Homo-oligomer: A and B are copies of this chain.
Amino acid sequence: MNGAESLIRTLLASGVDTCFANPGTSEMHFVAALDKVEGMRCILGMAETVVTGCADGYARMAGKPAVTLMHCGPGLGNGIANIHNARRANAPMVNIVGDHATYHRPFDAPLTADTEGLARAVSHWVRTGNSSTRVGADGAAAVQAALTPPGQIATLILPADTAWNEGGEVAAPMPVPARPAVAPETLSAIARALRSGEPAMLVLSGQALSEAGLAAAQRVAHASGAKLRAPTQIPRMARGRGRPPVDRIPYVVDSALKVLAGTRHVIVVGAKPPTAFFAYPGKPSLTSPADAVTHVLARPEQDAVAALEWLADELGAPKRVPLPDTGNRLELVRGPFEPEAFAKTLAGLLPENCIVVEDAVTSGRALFAPTFDAAPHDWLQITGGAIGHGFPCASGAALASPGRKVVCLQADGAGMYTLQSLWTQAREKLDVVNVVFANRIYKILHGELLAVGAQPGRVSNELFDLARPTLDWIKLADGMGVEATRVETLEGFADAFKAASGRRGPFLIEFRIA
């Protein structure tokens, strides 16, 4: 058995059975070994940013890593943006990156690159497998690293001769560390703070946004009066009717400051202290009040659900507490696109148990709260700010979740980074309704320019404008085998969305925004 085969058999033994791939010559023995081994599902992406974005969406829904297969140096480079998003989502991911044979590297052939340097810049765990007899064990260690809470990026570089040499040995799965428990004194201190009656806010992310985490957090809020918030970016959240309607901290710094104003105790649960996405002249980096105390109830890798449940019990909260009224009314709104009206319309249309993937940038900021009362669903979001995340993340989420409809809310400028994902959706017949918000401008940058105190002029208008020429998303989708339609009103959207939801397979709705 060669190294490649031992690595694939090890990955399968460790529970990794899905491979998103865009291989090159240095990966050919790995590909040949895939032909010999049953059980690994392989999905081709026509650019590595599709491959890694799919792996992120897959991991967030499956709760376990897929393996990516990428080509040395530049191939990995193309995949970095969505590895970054996955890293910020604490999504487990195992990357296999081929490289030149060990003896060939010194000759500096044209594709020779600092693969290890690139890998280190974006991974928690990096290893170069230099021995075909040990590469099975390297693979088991990579899966272990990926699954180590809260979820990590593990990159195994596989020189071609490590793959093709004989002597491969299949390694047994390695144990996955459990989530560490929160120390009792931490729990007690936070219980005291909550009992003080001083204004408190729990900021929930990761495990705390699961159904169990949210239920426990709602009990804490009920018993203590603390407010609940999610960070501006969330990896995954259980939402919809019957689940606590926890809003996010707004993206815009001034709005975030308002939301946090007056808070005395900021209690982070699987989240980081609230931080502005960018720095702006004269504005703070941290958005908590200067005199607030930040408490860490659970670090991202800790058992946030158990900590929240202990806290709820300690505070004497009943096992079931009423949910706050969101004030939302489900209604189909008519007329042109307007973010809140769109959100209200969407809320009434989301299918039961669907998965929403949001990379809608400026069109997406108003979508969150008005959709709290939709049918139960999971909401996945771009976490690392590397735009172009929606299409591939939705594709990977669909692969991980057969039988569940995926709704991808994608800004047009962002979508152009990874439009190749649509081809993978068509090829794999993925059940995704893609909604493209076609405002034909990098609208966020227009706002950001004003936010840093400047006024748009000749060059900035040129660099933000996507209208010359206007993208035709119907043709782009159709060119890759995905059926598509264009709408210009909310009622047109509702009709198209209902039709698309009623059938299986990928579909794209271009919402042309006036």
Interface-forming stretch among A173-181, A367-375, A467-475? A467-475
Going nearest first, the 3 A-B pairs with the smallest beta carbon separation are: A469-B481, A35-B457, A77-B80
Q: Is the CB of A28 within 8 A of B449?
A: yes
Given A36-B457, A108-B272: A279 and B160 within 8 A (CB)? yes
**Residue A1 CB within 8 A of the other chain:** no
Given A31-B463, A278-B100: A413 and B73 within 8 A (CB)? no
Q: Is the CB of A121 within 8 A of B117?
A: yes
**Residue A113 CB within 8 A of the other chain:** yes
Q: How far is the CA of A88 from the CA of B301 in the complex (A)?
A: 42
Number of copies of this protein chain within its complex:
2
Q: Is the CB of A279 within 8 A of B31?
A: no
Q: How far is the CA of A278 from the CA of B88 in the complex (A)?
A: 35
Q: Is the CB of A47 within 8 A of B80?
A: no
Q: How far is the CA of A34 from the CA of B455 in the complex (A)?
A: 12
| A24 CB contact (under 8 Å) in B40, B74, B109, B445 | B445
**Residue A242 CB within 8 A of the other chain:** no
Tell me which residues across on chain B come within 8 A of A462, comparing CB atoms. 42, 44
Q: Is the CB of B111 within 8 A of A277?
A: yes
Nearest CB on B from A328, distance (A)? 28
Tell me which residues across on chain B come within 8 A of A386, comparing CB atoms. 73-75, 77, 111
Given A275-B109, A445-B23: A81 and B80 within 8 A (CB)? no
Q: Is the CB of B463 within 8 A of A44?
A: yes
Tell me which residues across on chain B come within 8 A of A81, comparing CB atoms. 74-75, 77-78
Q: How far is the CA of A108 from the CA of B88 in the complex (A)?
A: 10
Given A32-B454, A276-B109, A445-B23: A469 and B459 within 8 A (CB)? no
Tell me the residues in window 427-458 of chain A with beta carbons closer than 8 Å to chain B beta carbons: 427, 444-445, 448-449, 451-452, 454-458
**Residue A114 CB within 8 A of the other chain:** yes
Tell me which residues across on chain B come within 8 A of A245, comparing CB atoms. none
Name the residue on B nearest A80 (C-beta).
Answer: B77
Q: Is the CB of A454 within 8 A of B28?
A: yes
Q: How far is the CA of A490 from the CA of B475 in the complex (A)?
A: 27
**Residue A416 CB within 8 A of the other chain:** yes
Q: Is the CB of B25 within 8 A of A448?
A: yes
Q: Is the CB of A73 within 8 A of B77?
A: no
Tell me which residues across on chain B come within 8 A of A113, comparing CB atoms. 84, 121-122
Tell me the residues in window 263-319 of chain A with beta carbons closer than 8 Å to chain B beta carbons: 272-273, 275-279, 281, 285-286
| A42 CB contact (under 8 Å) in B281, B459, B476 | B459
Q: How far is the CA of A110 from the CA of B279 in the complex (A)?
A: 12
**A377-405 near B? 1/0 per residue, CB < 8 Å:** 00000011110100000000000000000
Name the residue on B nearest A446 (C-beta).
Answer: B28
Q: A42-B459, A74-B384, A475-B479 are in contact. List 9 more A-B contacts (CB 8 A).
A: A29-B452, A44-B463, A109-B278, A109-B285, A110-B277, A426-B469, A469-B480, A470-B481, A479-B479
Name the residue on B nearest A417 (C-beta).
Answer: B47
Q: How far is the CA of A476 from the CA of B482 in the complex (A)?
A: 12
Given A47-B416, A80-B77, A118-B121: A468 and B427 within 8 A (CB)? yes
Q: How far is the CA of A56 from the CA of B417 in the complex (A)?
A: 20
**Residue A186 CB within 8 A of the other chain:** no
Q: Is the CB of A164 within 8 A of B80?
A: no
Instruction: Provide 22 A-B residue pairs closer than 8 Å at the C-beta atoms, listed in order of the A residue.
Output: A23-B445, A25-B451, A26-B278, A28-B454, A32-B452, A32-B457, A35-B455, A42-B459, A47-B417, A77-B386, A78-B417, A103-B285, A104-B279, A104-B285, A108-B272, A108-B275, A110-B233, A118-B122, A160-B279, A161-B279, A417-B420, A472-B479
Tell me which residues across on chain B come within 8 A of A276, comparing CB atoms. 104, 107, 109
Q: Is the CB of B46 within 8 A of A466?
A: yes
Tell me which residues across on chain B come within 8 A of A448, comparing CB atoms. 24-25, 28
**Residue A478 CB within 8 A of the other chain:** yes
Given A42-B462, A101-B279, A457-B35: A423 and B469 within 8 A (CB)? yes
Q: Is the CB of A23 within 8 A of B475?
A: no
**A164-200 near B? 1/0 per residue, CB < 8 Å:** 1000000000000000000000000000000000000
Q: Is the CB of A413 within 8 A of B46?
A: yes
Nearest CB on B from A205, distance (A)? 11
Tell me the residues in window 204-226 of chain A with beta carbons closer than 8 Å to chain B beta carbons: none
Name the residue on B nearest A476 (C-beta).
Answer: B479
